[in-house]
Amino acid sequence: MLGKANEHVAAMEKPPPKSWSLRRKLIVTVVAIVAVVALAVGLGVGLTRGGGSDDDGGDDDQNSGGGGGGDDTDGVPEDGPDRDETWKPKVGDSWQIILKYPLDLQSTDDINPDVAVYDLDLYDNDKETFRMLQDAGKKVICYFSAGSWENWRDDKDDWDEADLGDELDGWPDERWANVSSPGVRDIIKGRIELAWRKGCDAIDPDNVDGYNNENGLGLTADDAVDFMRFMAEEAQSHKMAIGLKNAGEIIPDVIDFIDFSVNEQCVEYAECDTFADFVDADKPVFNIEYPSGAPDKVTAKVSGEICSTEGDATGSEGFSKVIKKMILDGWVEYCDGKTYTSKVQD
């Protein structure tokens, strides 16, 4: 496992070629000069405008002082909804989860399937999409990665290298983050604020189980509990609910302040019993299974096993089950045998 991770690092670093041709040196020099000139012009313009107020497109505006309402540079309002109470999801709530693509809604008529809850990527979907779902009476859970650094995010340079550990096994574009670090927590606080500003009813922070993986940072289950508590307080301060993604080991330590579970493959790994604590506490388990054959070729035998509460599915009474492809696109199958394909922007 470690060996595999190291291979990824080596592949990523790609050292420059040892000897550069003259032509290449020339091109590089010209590009560098153009860049310097462009930067100088840009700086000059910025200074004469008395600039510095524009942020860099990131969503962290906690240093910007004043900020008199209106839209931020990303078109998201500076304040989210002023709610009286936090949404309490119910055991058995129906749901759909799509993380691969943004949902494609022109109006509430496009909403398909007609389920109670949508779990969608915080960044990829715009606030109008969330608003349309809510206008149709749906609740919106906003997904983001909380425990990993992603090399494609706008804020990727805000992370301190010292806070980053090993790559995630199978996800070479992500690295485990030190969830105890104040710098990391500031960034996550900004993400939770963004979820509020975009109107999310709840957050689904992923990758909080670094302690279960080769993480390179010595992360422990206690670190994860403390991190969940931190995020729960931030979410609650904006009247948003919060879920625990997988991380079965820490359920007893966090269940009092967590509103629901998002679980992958508890049937496949015969561990639904662990997550049943949530149902016992009157909180839903949103369960996803990824059987081979999805989409459309999931046999009745396989879906029957997933949808039962026996065998590998023991303990899953009351779970809100969806059968999905691992990439989490628009396709979904439910335990009544019906399948749907939500329209997405792919």
């020339």: which residue's tokens? 26
Give the integer Cα–Cα distance in Å for 276 and 254. 14
Q: Does 117 bind ligand NAG (CB under 6 A)?
A: no
Q: Which of 180, 212, 308, 309 binds ligand NAG (CB under 6 A)?
A: 180
Q: Taking the complex as a whole, how short is the minimal distance between the CB of residue 140 and ligand NAG, in angstroms?
A: 32
**Which range in 34-42, 109-117, 137-145, 173-181 contacts ligand NAG by CB under 6 A?**
173-181
Q: Which of 96, 178, 263, 287 binds ligand NAG (CB under 6 A)?
A: 178
Q: Taking the complex as a whole, how short is the minimal distance between the CB of residue 56 and ligand NAG, in angstroms?
A: 25
Q: Hey, what long-range contacts does 172-175 have (CB within 8 A, 24 or more apart)?
A: 172/8, 172/11, 172/12, 174/145, 174/148, 174/149, 174/150, 174/207, 175/148, 175/149
C-alpha dihedral (246, 248, 254, 257), degrees to nearest 10 = 50
Between residues 164 and 322, which has the closer beta carbon with respect to ligand NAG? 164
Q: Taking the complex as a whole, how short is the minimal distance between the CB of residue 182 and ligand NAG, in angstroms?
A: 6
Helix (H, G, I), strand (E, B) or coil at 151: coil
**Which range in 73-81, 174-182, 271-279, 320-328 contacts ligand NAG by CB under 6 A?**
174-182
**Which range in 42-50, 52-60, 176-184, 230-238 contacts ligand NAG by CB under 6 A?**
176-184
The letter for the amino acid at 42 is G
Q: Hey, what long-range contacts does 296-300 have (CB within 8 A, 24 or more apart)?
A: 296/331, 296/339, 298/323, 298/333
Between residues 217 and 254, which has the closer beta carbon with respect to ligand NAG? 217
Between residues 151 and 220, which has the closer beta carbon with respect to ligand NAG? 220
Between residues 185 and 198, which has the closer beta carbon with respect to ligand NAG? 185
Q: Taking the complex as a whole, how short is the minimal distance between the CB of residue 219 and ligand NAG, in angstroms?
A: 8
Nearest residue to the partner ligand NAG, using Cβ: 178
**8 A C-beta contact, residue 193 and residue 243:** no
**Which range in 77-85, 97-105, 179-187, 334-342 contacts ligand NAG by CB under 6 A?**
179-187
Q: Taking the complex as a whole, how short is the minimal distance between the CB of residue 171 and ligand NAG, in angstroms?
A: 20
Binding residues for ligand NAG, total number by CB under 6 A = 6
Beta strands in the chain (DSSP E): 95-98, 117-121, 139-145, 148-150, 164-168, 171-177, 202-206, 241-245, 260-264, 285-289, 320-323, 331-333, 339-341
Eight-class DSSP state of 344: B
Q: Taking the complex as a whole, how short is the minimal distance between the CB of residue 228 and ligand NAG, in angstroms?
A: 16
Q: Taking the complex as a whole, how short is the minimal distance between the CB of residue 218 and ligand NAG, in angstroms?
A: 5
Give the integer Cα–Cα distance in Å for 202 and 45. 41
**8 A C-beta contact, residue 272 and residue 266:** yes
The letter for the amino acid at 27 is I
Q: Does 67 bind ligand NAG (CB under 6 A)?
A: no
Q: Residue 286: which of 317, 311, 264 has the closest Cα? A: 264
Site string for ligand NAG, 214-253 (x = CB under 6 A): ---xx-----------------------------------
Q: Taking the complex as a whole, how short is the minimal distance between the CB of residue 193 and ligand NAG, in angstroms?
A: 21
Q: Does 148 bind ligand NAG (CB under 6 A)?
A: no
All residues at 6 or more sequence positions from 260 whose CB lies less than 8 Å from its CB, including other chains: 89, 202, 241, 243, 244, 278, 283, 284, 285, 286
Helix (H, G, I), strand (E, B) or coil at 201: coil
Peptide bond into 284 cis (omega under 30): no
**Which range in 72-80, 175-183, 261-269, 307-315 contacts ligand NAG by CB under 6 A?**
175-183
Q: Does 181 bind ligand NAG (CB under 6 A)?
A: yes
Question: Which residues are near ligand NAG by CB under 6 A?
Answer: 178, 180-182, 217-218
